[in-house]
Amino acid sequence: MAGALLFVVLIYLALVVFMVATMWKIYTKAGKPGWAAIVPIYNLIVLLEIAGKPLWWIVLLCIPLVNFVILIMVMIALAKSFGKDTGYAIGLIFLGIIFFPMLAFGDAVYVGPGGAAAPAAA
């Protein structure tokens, strides 16, 4: 019994480390510091910036039930920020364990907050 529990805990920890690496890569693709993915609250602020949503939405993310609606809107904007469509956003919402790594390690390119064209670098 203890061996099975240890196995489950190790699998869980491996998934957590993998998802942290995935979010780190997404943040760096968007030109944000990767370490922001591991800082509580700040990671949501940076995610809102990447998605092009106002920073005051962090308050809405703290309200039960409202946060589900806001997260859906943020996932749609995140998909558009990387040039993907609403179908990809649905994948991020329901199958995040698959679609976030595809976004991070695939050929997706950050096009700007909410899909707006990013300003040219000088």
Q: Give the structural domain span for 68.
A: 2-115
Going by the DSSP 8-state scheme, the letter that residue 114 receives in this structure is G
Query: Band of the pLDDT at 115, cuts 50, 70, 90?
Result: confident
Give the residue from 53, 69, 52 showing the smallest Cα distance to 61. 69
Q: pLDDT per residue over 33-82, tens digit each?
A: 999 999 999 999 999 999 999 999 999 999 999 999 999 999 999 999 99
DSSP helix/strand/coil, 110: coil
30 in a structural domain: yes
- Phi, psi dihedral angles at 119 (to 5 degrees): -65, 145
104 in a structural domain: yes
pTM for this model (two decimals):
0.87
- Residue 38 has a pLDDT of 95
122 in a structural domain: no
27 in a structural domain: yes
- Quickly tell me which residue has 């991020």 as its tokens: 92
Number of structural domains, the chain? Answer: 1
Among 56-70, 84-98, 102-116, the least confident range: 102-116
38 in a structural domain: yes
